[in-house]
Chain A
Amino acid sequence: GESVGLHLPTLSVQEGDNSIINCAYSNSASDYFIWYKQESGKGPQFIIDIRSNMDKRQGQRVTVLLNKTVKHLSLQIAATQPGDSAVYFCAENQAAGNKLTFGGGTRVLVKP
C-alpha cells in the first residue's frame, strides 16, 4: 500500500549545527506534505507544510524541500538548539481523503 516513511529513526546533532531529517513517500497523489514536531510528553505540533506543486518552502529556521522525482521530503533545521530535541514526523494530505497520514517519526537528539 501507499505510505509515508522515514529513512533514519534517530539523529544526533551538535548544538549549533544544521539538522536534516529525511522522509520518503510513495503516494504521488498527495496535495500537501507536512512536518510535525512532538516533544516528550506532548502532542504533535505543526511546523511547516509544502504544497505538492512547490519544491522549497522556508519558515523560521526551518526549510522543507520536496523532490517529486524521487518522492523525497526533507526538513532542514538551521542552528539546531536544545529545544529542537523531539520526534519529527512527516505527513501527507490528500484533499479528497480528508485526513493526514503520518510517517514513522525520527528522533532528533541535540548534544550540548
Chain B
Amino acid sequence: DTAVSQTPKYLVTQMGNDKSIKCEQNLGHDTMYWYKQDSKKFLKIMFSYNNKELIINETVPNRFSPKSPDKAHLNLHINSLELGDSAVYFCASSQGQGAVEQYFGPGTRLTVT
C-alpha cells in the first residue's frame, strides 16, 4: 500500500564508488522528482520527470544521472561518490508538473566515507 517507495533506506559507501537509488510510485502520477536534504534539513530539488521526460535539472553535477524507465519509476545513479554527497535523498511524485501537493517517499540516507 506504500504510495512512494525507495530502496535502499540506508546506503553507506566509500568515496569513488558508484551507487543507485530506486524509486517507485503506485499513485498513477505523471511527474516524479528527486530532492536532496542536507544535514541542516534544507530541501532542494534536483530533478523532475514528467511522463519519462526530464523537465528540471537543477545544476546538479553530471555524476548524478536520473533514469525513468516508465512513469512509475525514477532511479538515481551517482558516479564517483564524494563526501559532500552525504545527505538524505527523497523521491516524490505528483499529478502535474510542479504541483503544490507532492507525495514524498521515506528517503534514502546516503553516507559517503
Contact = CB atoms under 8 A, between A and B. Distances in A.
A43 B45 contact: no
Interface in B57-113: 58, 90, 92, 97-98, 100-107
B109 to A, nearest CB: 9
A33 to B, nearest CB: 9
- Band of interface residues on B: 20 to 34
Contact of B98 (A42, A44, A95, A105): A95
A62 B74 CA distance: 33
B56 A93 contact: no
Contact of A32 (B4, B48, B92, B100): B100
A104 B98 contact: no
A87 interface: yes
A43 B56 contact: no
Contacts of A38: 41
Nearest to B88: A43
B100 A49 contact: yes
A45 B104 contact: yes
A100 B104 contact: no
A98 B43 contact: no
Contacts of A43: 4, 90, 92, 104-107
A99 to B, nearest CB: 5
B90 A44 contact: yes
Interface string B16-32: 00000000000000000
B81 to A, nearest CB: 22
Interface in A33-59: 34, 38, 41-46, 49
Interface of A: 32, 34, 38, 41-46, 49, 87, 89, 93-95, 97-102, 104-105
Given A43-B4, A44-B90, 13 more contacts: A43-B92, A43-B105, A43-B106, A43-B107, A44-B102, A46-B102, A46-B103, A87-B41, A93-B98, A98-B56, A98-B97, A99-B45, A104-B40
6 contacts: A43-B106, A46-B102, A46-B103, A99-B45, A99-B58, A104-B40
